Amino acid sequence: TKRSWRERLSGNAFARGLSSLFVRHPKLDDDLLDELETTLITADVGVEASSELVEGLRKRMHKREFADAPALLAALRQALVALLKPVEQPLDVRGKQPYVVLVVGINGAGKTTTIGKLARRWRDEKRAVMLAAGDTFRAAAVEQLKTWGERNQVPVISQGQDADAASVIFDALQAARSRGTDVLIADTAGRLHTQGGLMDELGKIARVLKKIDDAAPHEVLMVIDGTTGQNAVNQVRQFRQIVGVTGLVVTKLDGTAKGGVVFALAREFGLPIRYVGLGETATDLRVFEAEAFVDGLLP
């Protein structure tokens, strides 16, 4: 699977930027480090994280810890893994029945697709999964979820368009309890232009869930589009003011994303990165692994 991470990530701007840097500039000197910093910033690592990483390496270079560019690259790898290791915390849905996962994030981030992939993953692990169509704001979202449920024999609780999201999710948790469901995955609306409305809605969902299980939701999973660059950091910041996010999924890291945003998120929030999306099919949602991710990005 290490090779498959690399195949998916090697077209990434991060990977391409670093490869070309070390080809253009094989000599170990301060210019190389300046260019490395620029490359990291261009790949969405963020100004502060890039500067910290490079200044750490520069000190070590001046102490002559590295003999050549490959030694520097090895140290960079180590530093990048160290940055991501603390957020490598896989989601464990055992121990609660049902385990309630509330999925949040702005429209287009990949929420519905991620819910489909998660349902498939947990179903394949022989868990009983149920979906709650809590994005009642968009008719298409309810339909998308239903289609997915039918195709994979996973029940979907919905109340049609304009229903109250908290009521849908409350009903779903009751149904999940009575049917012995293992994991309930609840979709939610993702509008950010009415932040007050979204805050009220997510707040109400959390309150009604607690009426049934005061530990629910057990996970608030925020889905973020990896192609949105530093904006992803702002999105997480905004959502954290609305709801207690407990884990992240970064999607679309195949394709045109600059994988650096994962480092920026790890440094800024320290929130667990549960999964990354490396493609559109069900098996393209990977449990996040710091080493596999970094090795996929490096030349």
Q: What are the Cα distances from residue 123, in Å, to 11, 59, 60, 253, 277?
A: 31, 50, 48, 24, 18
Choose, by CB under 6 A, the member of 112, 158, 181, 228 that binds ligand GDP: 112
Asked if residues 209 and 242 have their Cβ atoms less than 8 Å apart, the reply is: no
Give dist(CA 14, CA 153) in Å, integer. Answer: 39
CB of 31 to ligand GDP, least distance (A): 36
Q: Known binder of ligand: residue 29?
A: no
Give dist(CA 202, CA 208) in Å, integer. Answer: 10
Q: Spell 198-216 as b/e; 16+ CB within 10 A means b.
A: beebbebbbebbeeebeeb
Identity of the residue numbered 136: T
Alpha-carbon Rg for the chain, nearest whole angstrom, is 21
97 contributes a contact to ligand GDP by CB under 6 A: no
Question: With CB under 6 A as the contact rule, which of the stretches 19-27, 36-44, 77-85, 108-116 interacts with ligand GDP?
Answer: 108-116
Backbone angles phi, psi at 27, to 5 degrees: -80, 140
113 contributes a contact to ligand GDP by CB under 6 A: yes
Element (H, E) at 167: helix 165-179
228 contributes a contact to ligand GDP by CB under 6 A: no
8 contributes a contact to ligand GDP by CB under 6 A: no
Question: With CB under 6 A as the contact rule, which of the stretches 15-23, 67-75, 273-281, 291-299 interacts with ligand GDP?
Answer: 273-281
Question: With CB under 6 A as the contact rule, which of the stretches 19-27, 100-108, 202-210, 263-271 interacts with ligand GDP?
Answer: 100-108
Ranked by CB distance to ligand GDP, the top (closest) residue is: 277
Q: Known binder of ligand: residue 254?
A: yes
146 contributes a contact to ligand GDP by CB under 6 A: no
Asked if residues 187 and 115 have their Cβ atoms less than 8 Å apart, the reply is: yes
88 contributes a contact to ligand GDP by CB under 6 A: no
Provide the residue count of the chain: 299
Site for ligand GDP, residues 241 to 270, rule: CB under 6 A: 251-252, 254-255
Number of residues that bind ligand GDP (CB under 6 A): 18
- Interface residue list for ligand GDP (CB under 6 A): 105, 107-113, 190, 251-252, 254-255, 277-280, 284
Query: Which positions make up the binding site for GTP?
Result: 105-112, 187-191, 251-254
Query: Which positions make up the binding site?
Result: 105-112, 187-191, 251-254
